[in-house]
A and B are shown apart, each in its own frame.
Chain A
Amino acid sequence: MSIVSVRGVVRHYKQGDITVKALDGVDLDLEPGEFTTLMGPSGSGKTTLLNQIGGLDQPDSGTITIDGTEISKLSSSQLADVRLRKLGFVFQSYNLVPVLSAYENAEFVLLLQGMPAAERKQRVMETLAAVGLQGMEHRRPGELSGGQQQRVAVARAIAGRPALVLADEPTANLDSKTSESLIDLMRSLNSEHGITFLFSTHDPRIMDAARRVVHMKDGKIVNDEKKA
């Protein structure tokens, strides 16, 4: 069964008197364990599609099913629950909570899930170790480099064991060395832990690492390339 099923999704925005067709009848399926990237020029609809799949925005028409749950018609509260249980997010500008430490940022989703304290602590420590942040648990975002902050964001995204991690331009603010290291991390999380990743990116290194590259243009999927 597909972990993501997008069918005929349309999303239009009004910009003054002009209607922008951000998504114009998109169909997409993702299978568990995929490491897929959405490529395309700015304004092609990559981020809009990620937001739709992530339940952060709702389509004008069409359906989106995540891990068996059709999310297009859910209330904001039900959507929040889907995001909490099934999805992880990594954003371009990290978007960590500035007053929380690395540990607390990674722990937050587990707190919301209601995980017991002992199990939560073990999970957070394991996750921070998996992203290479041992010893930095108590640093706040302002005390970490960009690459380290993005690792915390990855830890937060995967700590709750989501069905799918959505990453919107995760390497856009990082230098090349840090980007490569982060891509290696996500690739190994995918291959070793079977976490499904969907990226939107311009970064050719992510495209090289991806096993499937979906090309978008003008709100449509124009090419879907699966590597051997």
Chain B
Amino acid sequence: MTRLFSLALRNLFRNGRRTAITASAIASGLMLVIMMVALQAGQYADMLRIGISTMAGHVVVQADGWQEEREAEMLLTDAAEVTAQLAEAFPDAHVTPRLYLGGLVTSTRSSAGVAVRGAVPSAEAAVDTLDDKLVEGEWLADDDDRGIVMGVGLADALQVEVGDRIVYMGQTESQDEMVSRMFRVRGLFKTGGVELDGMTGLVTLKAAQELIERDDVAHQVALHIDDPAESPAAWAKAEGLVAADGRDVLEWPDALPSLVTFIDIDRVSGDVMMAVMGLIVAMGVLNTVLMSVLERTKEFGVLMAIGMQPRRLGALILVESALLGILGSLLGTIGGALLTAYLVAYGIDYSSMMGETMEMEGLVLSTLMHGAWDFDRMGAYVVGTVIVTILAGVWPAWHLTRLEPVDAMRAA
């Protein structure tokens, strides 16, 4: 085996140009794949981070059934107690109770539908980025039960500015009475998201509870931890603490199933694309290995004539392919790692083509796309590349073992 290895190495080094070209083709393909994996991983990480912070938490406590039905009356009672218990058990985390209401807002000039989020503004600011997107006015104070912060699209629809008054109209939780309440616009945010900017308003939790005339309720108490990798442990701990009849305690993959499914599907379609790319690289390698075998047919005939076993010749071709694959993959891995490091640090800025933000699955993402490391997938593609290049050598190797020395030596 050592002899075969050194022979294969010698063949590769002494056909330096061919080796360099093939290894470069493998390396370029792998680099591209690693870069795409990094960009996908970065995008998924962004989507999950934003999805978790705006639509859920790493762990959420909700009324039984609210996850599926989203009915306004599916309320979590004892929201304050659940919030306090989680806050005590996770002193470094952020705990945000939320109450979601739908209704109509009117100004003196116009009216529009609204999705109201009742929350603790300071807690929301700690986990969400809405407060960073304020373009006018101020973020809501925790005790400002008459204030509302809304998206610029909604403000435009209502033709209001910071300081103007609006009136919210909706139903009580029992749905037997209409309620209305005046709010003063404290600030406007602009995220770039159609739904967020055009329909969303944030009020204090207490104000939202008063609108439905229910004390101490929420639709969701969300726990946000610093290290997402700890979320399974956080979920187990939270469940042990607050699980009860009528309550669901969910970890984020269960709380954001459509987002997780979207990412899974996107990842699979990415894999299919990269498999096609792998096939193209494999055909390139197959072409090179086959050409090198055909070009050396006479040489192989001589080697067989002087006593080399046909199967050892076949093995030699496989070892050459494997070494080519390893060399190409090594270069590709180094190149891919450097590219990924760049993408992690600086990202690619698509803002000139797509604006500052883009919306995907209801999430507003930055068009400055950063990469992220996904060692499992990147490693799988590196190993896959080596396997594909070895497989590309199988047919030429088999072809060799079928040759008769006399016929092979007659080759031009």
A residues touching B (Cβ–Cβ < 8 Å)? 51, 54, 56-57, 76-77, 80-81, 83-85, 87-89, 91, 95-100, 104, 108-109, 111-113, 156, 160
Contact = CB atoms under 8 A, between A and B. Distances in A.
Nearest to B11: A99
A104 B405 CA distance: 21
Contacts of A57: 404, 406
Contact of B307 (A83, A96, A100): A83
Given A83-B305, A83-B306, A95-B305, 19 more contacts: A56-B404, A56-B409, A57-B404, A57-B406, A76-B310, A76-B404, A77-B309, A80-B310, A88-B306, A91-B302, A96-B302, A97-B303, A98-B299, A99-B10, A99-B15, A112-B307, A112-B308, A113-B307, A156-B306
Given A51-B406, A57-B404, A57-B406, A95 B311 contact: no
Contacts of A51: 406
Contact of B306 (A76, A98, A108): A108
Contacts of B308: 80, 84, 112
B17 interface: no
Main secondary structure of the interface of B (DSSP, over half): helix
B406 to A, nearest CB: 5
A81 B309 contact: yes
Interface string B295-320: 00011001111111111000000000
A95 to B, nearest CB: 4
A85 B299 contact: no
B3 interface: yes
Contacts, number: 61
Interface in B189-217: none
15 contacts: A51-B406, A56-B305, A56-B409, A80-B304, A81-B309, A83-B306, A83-B307, A84-B307, A84-B308, A87-B307, A89-B305, A91-B302, A96-B302, A109-B306, A111-B7
B14 interface: yes
How many B residues are at the interface, by size bracket? 20 to 34
Contacts of B303: 97, 108
Contact of A85 (B15, B307, B406): B307
Closest CB pairs A-B (n = 7): A84-B307, A99-B14, A95-B302, A83-B307, A56-B406, A56-B405, A80-B309
Contacts of A56: 305, 404-406, 409
A95 B307 contact: no
Nearest to B409: A95
B17 to A, nearest CB: 12
A112 B308 CA distance: 7
Contacts of A91: 302, 409
A89 to B, nearest CB: 5
B293 to A, nearest CB: 14
Interface string B1-21: 001000100110011000000
Residue among B308, B404, B405 with the most chain A CB within 10 A? B405
B410 to A, nearest CB: 11
Nearest to A96: B302
Interface in B73-103: none
Contacts of B10: 99-100, 104
Interface in B388-412: 404-406, 409
Contacts of B304: 80
Nearest to B310: A76
B313 to A, nearest CB: 9
B307 A80 contact: yes
A143 B148 CA distance: 88
A100 B303 CA distance: 12
Nearest to B402: A76
Question: Which of A80, A81, A99, A104 has its CB near the most chain B CB atoms (within 10 A)?
Answer: A80
Contacts of B3: 111
Contacts of B298: 95
A194 to B, nearest CB: 21
Nearest to A98: B299
Contacts of B406: 51, 56-57
Nearest to A48: B406
A204 B97 CA distance: 107
A148 to B, nearest CB: 18
A99 B300 CA distance: 12
Contacts of B409: 56, 91, 95
A21 B406 CA distance: 18
B299 A81 contact: no
A89 B306 contact: yes
Nearest to B308: A112
A87 B406 CA distance: 15
A112 B311 CA distance: 13
B405 A97 contact: no
A77 B405 CA distance: 12
Contact of A109 (B7, B15, B307): B307
Contacts of B14: 99
B149 to A, nearest CB: 74
Contacts of A54: 305
A97 B409 CA distance: 12
A142 B306 CA distance: 21
Contacts of A97: 299, 302-303
B146 to A, nearest CB: 86
B6 to A, nearest CB: 9
Contact of A84 (B299, B306, B404): B306
Contacts of A77: 309-311
A127 B271 CA distance: 57
Contacts of A76: 310, 404
Given A91-B302, A98-B299, A99-B10, A81 B405 contact: no
A80 to B, nearest CB: 5
Most buried by B among A56, A57, A85, A98: A56
A81 B307 contact: yes
